[in-house]
A and B are shown apart, each in its own frame.
Chain A
Amino acid sequence: KQEVTQIPAALSVPEGENLVLNCSFTDSAIYNLQWFRQDPGKGLTSLLLIQSSQREQTSGRLNASLDKSSGRSTLYIAASQPGDSATYLCAVEGGSEKLVFGKGTKLTVNP
């Protein structure tokens, strides 16, 4: 059974800092990995999708990497801003279309 773990559970940084969020998964036979952002009491906003054949994806200040063989992904956020404060979720798809989620990392960027 696929398990997804995200470390750290919470992270507080000053504005402008670069940061890395970590995601690990137990079964490397994944189809893709998605990073989402969740604001309090709100839905999930898709940030990046990395297919299993890819090593990384970039969108603006965000860069996600995938090392399928070791079961790891990282989300790098450059020059963090207070508006980046949210919970970041990692989810993997194992070929059956369903996503298996981690519990998330709650990020606070302090002005």
Chain B
Amino acid sequence: EPEVTQTPSHQVTQMGQEVILRCVPISNHLYFYWYRQILGQKVEFLVSFYNNEISEKSEIFDDQFSVERPDGSNFTLKIRSTKLEDSAMYFCASSEYPGLVSETQYFGPGTRLLVL
């Protein structure tokens, strides 16, 4: 069964460093998402991406965050200058169709980011 994959599974970085989290969505999916889950808290929406542009972003997704689909398979989340409070599990998700059809979002296994 097709699945969303994410790399790395764990990332440790120093405060102020840039990190890039990578995702490979399910191949025929068109809509991509990033969510995060701080330890012990709810899963929170960060951004959605469709047709090579951001569709929606939350107030968490400020200027230090960016997303990109550099080729036909990868979807990346970049954090330019990490802060301690960016430590969380980051989930990538994808769905087949946007808009009118109510579609299941399929989640990857997550990247656990620890900022020291």
A49 and B102 in contact (CB under 8 A), knowing A96-B56, A101-B44?
yes
Contacts of A46 in B (CB 8 A): 104-107
Of the candidates B31, B41, B105, B110, the one whose C-beta lies within 8 Å of that of A103 is: B41
Given known A43-B108, A43-B110, A49-B104, contact A98–B56 (CB-CB < 8 A): yes
Chain A nearest CB: distance from B82 CB in Å? 21
> Is residue A10 within 8 Å, beta carbon to beta carbon, of the partner chain?
no
Which residue of the partner chain, among B43, B48, B58, B95, contacts A44 with CB atoms under 8 Å?
A: B43
A31 touches B45 (CB 8 A): no
* Chain A 87-111 interface 0/1 with B at a Cβ cutoff of 8 Å (1 = within): 0010101001111111110000000
- Asked if A36 and B41 sit within 8 Å, CB to CB, the answer is no
The interface residues of chain B lying within 8 Å CB-to-CB of A34 are 104-105
Does A65 belong to the interface (CB within 8 Å)?
no
Chain A residues engaging chain B, CB cutoff 8 angstroms: 31-32, 34, 36, 41-46, 49, 51-52, 89, 91, 93, 96-104
12 sample A-B contacts, Cβ–Cβ < 8 Å, listed by A number = A32-B102, A46-B104, A46-B106, A46-B107, A96-B56, A97-B55, A99-B43, A100-B45, A101-B42, A101-B43, A103-B41, A103-B42
16 additional contacts (CB under 8 A) given A42-B110, A98-B58: A32-B102, A42-B109, A44-B91, A44-B107, A45-B107, A46-B106, A51-B102, A96-B48, A96-B56, A97-B55, A98-B33, A99-B43, A99-B45, A101-B42, A103-B41, A103-B42
